Amino acid sequence: MKTRITAAPTLDEIETVKAGLRAYNKNFIPQNSFKELGIFIEDESGNKSGGLIGETVGNYLMIKYLWVDESLRGQDCGTHLIRQAEEEAMARGCRYALVDTFSFQARPFYERQGYACKMTLEEFIADIRPLPELEATHQRFYLTKKLG
């Protein structure tokens, strides 16, 4: 047996690991517990200017990515995406939501949506800005919300 390290695993390699984990997990949780979720802001041609990618797992909505183009910020597009995701999650039987964000991203936004910070990872990643008056690292926050 040998190991191999790569900075660029192929989609097939990623799926092999996921399939192995899912095969183990099926002994403990229902097969259909993991469901992908995508909600997009699109123009008439299908060009995306925002979106939310997540999944529902058991009782949880797990928000993986939320992006709104600069041109749409301040127009409640992010709020609309979150609400749609939460509504879909509740329709799927979820009772809670989970999201993580960096200190330079959207913690205040999520808190305005009713999310509460449950965990902070200090010094998570370096800040590339060379200004001495700025923090040298960024934190990562994990926030949850009870749905309904």
Please indicate, yes or no, if residue 62 is contained in any of the structural domains: yes
Give the pLDDT band of residue 134 (cuts 50, 70, 90).
Answer: low
Please indicate, yes or no, if residue 141 is contained in any of the structural domains: yes
Read off the pLDDT of residues 24-55 as tens digits, 9 standing for 90 and up.
988 898 877 889 999 999 999 999 999 999 99
- Could you give the percent of the chain with pLDDT greater than 70? 96
Please indicate, yes or no, if residue 10 is contained in any of the structural domains: no
pLDDT at 73: 87
Structural domains counted in the chain: 1
pLDDT at 128: 81
Structure tokens at 28: 């403990």
Please indicate, yes or no, if residue 43 is contained in any of the structural domains: yes
Task: Say how far apart CA 26 and CA 63 lie, in whole Å.
Answer: 23
Strand partners, 35: 56
Read off the pLDDT of residues 108-129 as tens digits, 9 standing for 90 and up.
999 999 999 999 999 888 888 7
Task: Say how far apart CA 77 and CA 42 lie, in whole Å.
Answer: 12
Q: Is the pLDDT of residue 135 over 80?
A: no
Please indicate, yes or no, if residue 23 is contained in any of the structural domains: no
Structure tokens at 49: 């200017």
Domain span including residue 88: 32-146
Please indicate, yes or no, if residue 54 is contained in any of the structural domains: yes
Please indicate, yes or no, if residue 4 is contained in any of the structural domains: no
β pairing state of 116-126 and 96-102: unpaired
Element (H, E) at 84: helix 77-91
Give the pLDDT band of residue 143 (cuts 50, 70, 90).
Answer: very high
Please indicate, yes or no, if residue 39 is contained in any of the structural domains: yes
Q: Where are the beta strands (DSSP E) in the chain?
A: 34-42, 48-57, 60-68, 96-102, 116-126, 137-146
- Lowest mean pLDDT across 15-24, 96-105, 108-117, 137-146: 15-24
CATH number for the domain that contains residue 108:
3.40.630.30
